[in-house]
């Protein structure tokens, strides 16, 4: 299936029993008990009115068929029927109005709880889940559960009507009522046989929707790549496969949902014919009168109507519960980041960092670090170099608490970072990455993102430090210029300058630069280098770089290889060792020197 092959193979951590889903659902709607009680009351009044109406029609028919019919009785029955019809309309309006408040509020809270739970997760969670599928759970799955909630409310009303109606059937004619009961076991056997099958196809349908959304998000996000390589038709073919899977899942769900309805209606029709036949015999024999049989027919139609709804109810309920199951999979997910329950809020850190015997892996058994040790002094500027996969980014990701390490400890100023609250810890941490992410909004909103309460003076100090004022003066709306998703509308260098201004404004005590200047032009890099002199002053900094200019002035260079620190020292001392760094320098950095010539042999090494 091409690039999207893995999207149809989504794994769900856990499955829930019907009982557990029901209990969890009841707990979730419990805060809305006032609305539920009011809706139930309106349903009860509606059910009473629905039950009385056929009785009035029967009375009218008996009165009309009588030789000495009383016009006042007919007028009274007609007036009461009209009043009950108006009451039914009012009850329907009030019920829908209350449901219109209850369901959106229910969905708002459900989506907010799901969204908040996603915010709690560490990066390992997002490594395993496609963003498009997570979006499906927050939006589509929540909406499906909302529709199921509405269905449950309607089903409650229908069930109450069925109970009251059957009571009327027993009262009108016990023999005909017992004949009617013969159909019930057959109907429920058909409906219940549908239940498990529907749950299976509903899960497949929910996954298919998630796959379509994930494919859409990925193909739009990578549209520049597909266009660059002329692969639009290939992407379309691959999406077509995903879309076919969605069509097949939807077709199966629709088929299963409606396959039993004709059978149920046939059974109901047969029972109606039988009732009319026996009822007619009773009228001819003088056992009962026409009005009673007419009432019985009306009641039996009302009795079977809710049962017919069950053919739709179970499939929709299963679909909603499958959606709820996927939402619960998020709500029950716990982040791997372990924080002391008695974590303390810290004010300002000094910035001494100690990695002690760190063990870490992304996947079990595939160790990135095993017993890693590193001591970074307060205010020290550290540069980390190494081949791709050496562990550079993993090291700073652990420091930023994006992932949890399996062994050892990371201490800052003698305090284990797991004993610090995440919010207060990250206020002391600045992180500028190679792939800049800017949110849709104004430039000012993006700069203020980490410190929204900053004064105008601090804001412009940050802007001037990175020389971003030149760009702002050029833009017609200045700081209020709107930028698109992921910073569209700005060049890569301009986006990087905005991210630097954002980091400077937060004034972090520890700064991480993860290859932050590798994608900018020489002019922008020169501006950034000047800004870095200010940014890195009097604070602990860790720089991962592909540019020589960002590491030669480091207090210490850490050379990493296969998750181990193999060398450390200054630029000159490491070159003199003629080891791993010297080889990296000759291969990646030497040509970045201003006086470098292809035929030149590095004087630093010689």
Of 272, 303, 331, the last residue of a domain is 331
Q: Where are the alpha helices (DSSP H) in 69-141?
A: 71-120, 123-128, 131-136
pTM higher than 0.85, yes or no?
no
**DSSP run (H or E) holding 147:** helix 142-172
182 in Cβ contact with 271 (< 8 Å): yes
Domain shared by 130 and 261, yes or no? yes
In a domain, 123, yes or no: yes
CATH number of the structural domain spanning residue 171: 1.20.1560.10
In a domain, 597, yes or no: no
Quick one: tokens of 94? Answer: 């009030």
Cα three-residue angle 316-322-326, rounded to 5 degrees: 145
In a domain, 122, yes or no: yes
Domain shared by 54 and 201, yes or no? yes
Spatial strand order of the sheet with 540-544 comes to: 429-433, 510-514, 540-544, 381-385, 556-561, 564-569
Domains held by the chain: number: 2
Instruction: For residues 39 and 35, give the distance between their C-alpha atoms in angstroms, rounded to a whole number.
Output: 6
How many other CB atoms are found less than 10 A from the CB of residue 464?
14
273 in Cβ contact with 28 (< 8 Å): no
Radius of gyration, CA atoms only, the chain: 35
In a domain, 423, yes or no: no
Domain shared by 25 and 144, yes or no? yes
In a domain, 594, yes or no: no
Q: What is the pLDDT at residue 541?
A: 87
312 in Cβ contact with 302 (< 8 Å): no
Q: What is the pLDDT at residue 152?
A: 74
Domain shared by 466 and 323, yes or no? no
Q: Which residue has the tokens 């009860």?
A: 44
Q: Which residue has the tokens 């029950």?
A: 332
Of 331, 353, 382, the last residue of a domain is 331
Instruction: For residues 447 and 496, give the distance between their C-alpha atoms in angstroms, rounded to a whole number.
Output: 11
In a domain, 339, yes or no: no
Domain shared by 316 and 462, yes or no? no
pLDDT along the chain (606 residues), means of 10: 44 66 82 81 80 75 70 79 85 83 81 81 75 70 75 72 76 76 73 67 72 68 56 71 77 69 73 76 72 73 70 69 80 78 85 91 86 91 85 88 89 90 84 76 83 84 81 80 74 79 84 69 68 75 74 85 88 85 73 48 40
In a domain, 235, yes or no: yes
Q: What is the pLDDT at residue 260?
A: 64
> Strands 510-514 and 540-544: what pairing?
parallel
Of 292, 308, 331, the last residue of a domain is 331
CATH number of the structural domain spanning residue 476: 3.40.50.300
Domain shared by 326 and 456, yes or no? no
Q: What is the pLDDT at residue 359?
A: 92
**What does the pLDDT look like over 237-274, one tens digit per residue?**
777 777 787 777 777 777 776 666 677 777 777 777 77
Instruction: For residues 315 and 264, give the distance between their C-alpha atoms in angstroms, rounded to a whole number.
Output: 15
In a domain, 154, yes or no: yes
Instruction: For residues 135 and 153, give the distance between their C-alpha atoms in angstroms, rounded to a whole number.
Output: 27
Q: What is the pLDDT at residue 411?
A: 92
Domain shared by 445 and 326, yes or no? no
Question: Domain limits at 467?
Answer: 439-507
- Residue 475, helix vs strand vs coil: coil
Candidates 488, 485, 503, 408; CA nearest to 447 is 503
Instruction: For residues 447 and 223, give the distance between their C-alpha atoms in angstroms, rounded to a whole number.
Output: 27
Q: Is residue 206 exposed (0-12), middle (13-18) or buried (19+ Cβ within 10 Å)?
A: buried
Instruction: For residues 437 and 112, give the distance between their C-alpha atoms in angstroms, rounded to a whole number.
Output: 23
Domain shared by 313 and 457, yes or no? no
């Amino acid at each position: 299936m091409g690039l999207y092959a893995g999207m149809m193979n989504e794994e769900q951590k856990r499955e829930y029993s019907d009982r557990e889903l029901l209990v969890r659902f009841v707990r979730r709607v419990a805060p809305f008990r006032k609305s539920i009680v009011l809706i139930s009351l309106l349903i009860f009044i509606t059910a009473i009115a629905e039950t009385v109406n056929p009785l009035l029609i029967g009375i009218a028919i008996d009165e009309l068929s009588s030789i000495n019919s009383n016009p006042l009785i007919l007028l009274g029955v007609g007036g009461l029927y009209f009043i009950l019809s108006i009451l039914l309309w009012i009850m329907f309006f009030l019920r829908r109005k209350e449901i219109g408040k209850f369901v959106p509020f229910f969905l708002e809270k459900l989506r907010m709880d799901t969204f908040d739970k996603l915010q709690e997760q560490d990066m390992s969670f997002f490594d395993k889940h496609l963003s498009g599928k997570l979006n499906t759970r927050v939006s589509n799955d929540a909406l499906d559960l909302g529709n199921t909630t509405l269905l449950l409310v309607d089903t409650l009303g229908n069930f109450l009507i069925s109970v009251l109606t059957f009571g009327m059937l027993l009262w009108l004619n016990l023999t005909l009522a017992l004949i009617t009961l013969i159909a019930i076991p057959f109907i429920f056997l058909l409906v219940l046989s549908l239940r498990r099958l529907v749950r299976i196809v509903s899960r497949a349908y929910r996954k298919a929707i998630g796959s379509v959304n994930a494919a859409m998000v990925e193909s739009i996000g990578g549209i520049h790549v597909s266009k660059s390589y002329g692969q639009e038709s290939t992407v379309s073919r691959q999406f077509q496969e995903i879309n076919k899977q969605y069509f097949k899942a939807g077709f199966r769900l629709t088929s299963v949902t409606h396959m039993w309805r004709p059978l149920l209606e046939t059974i109901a029709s047969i029972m109606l014919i039988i009732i009319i036949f026996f009822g007619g015999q009773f009228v001819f024999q003088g056992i009962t009168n026409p009005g009673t049989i007419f009432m019985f027919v009306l009641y039996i139609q009302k009795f079977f109507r809710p049962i017919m709804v069950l053919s739709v109810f179970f499939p929709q309920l299963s679909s909603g519960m499958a959606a709820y199951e996927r939402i619960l999979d998020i709500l029950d997910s716990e982040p791997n980041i372990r924080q002391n329950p008695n974590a303390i809020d810290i004010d300002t850190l000094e910035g001494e960092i100690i990695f002690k015997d760190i063990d870490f892996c992304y996947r079990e058994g595939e160790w990135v670090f095993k017993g890693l040790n590193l001591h970074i002094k307060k205010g020290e500027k550290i540069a980390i170099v190494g081949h791709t996969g050496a562990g550079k980014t993993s090291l700073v990701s652990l420091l930023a608490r994006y992932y949890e390490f399996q062994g050892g400890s990371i201490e800052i100023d003698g305090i284990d970072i797991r004993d610090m609250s995440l919010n207060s810890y990250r206020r002391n941490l600045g992180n500028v990455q190679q792939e800049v992410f800017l949110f849709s909004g104004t430039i000012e909103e993006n700069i203020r993102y980490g410190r929204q309460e900053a004064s105008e003076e601090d804001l412009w100090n940050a802007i001037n430090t990175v020389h971003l004022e030149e760009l702002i003066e050029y833009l017609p709306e200045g700081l209020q210029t709107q930028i698109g998703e992921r910073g569209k509308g700005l060049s890569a260098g301009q986006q990087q300058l905005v991210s630097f201004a954002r980091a400077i404004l937060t004034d972090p005590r520890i700064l991480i630069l993860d290859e932050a200047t590798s994608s900018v032009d020489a002019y922008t890099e020169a501006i950034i280098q000047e800004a870095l002199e200010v940014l890195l002053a009097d604070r602990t900094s860790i720089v991962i770089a592909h540019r020589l200019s960002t590491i030669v002035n480091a207090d210490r260079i850490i050379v990493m290889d296969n998750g181990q620190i193999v060398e450390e020292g200054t630029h000159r001392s490491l070159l003199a060792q003629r080891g791993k760094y010297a080889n990296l320098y000759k291969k990646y950095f030497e040509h970045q020197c201003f006086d470098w010539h292809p035929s030149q042999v590095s004087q630093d090494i010689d």
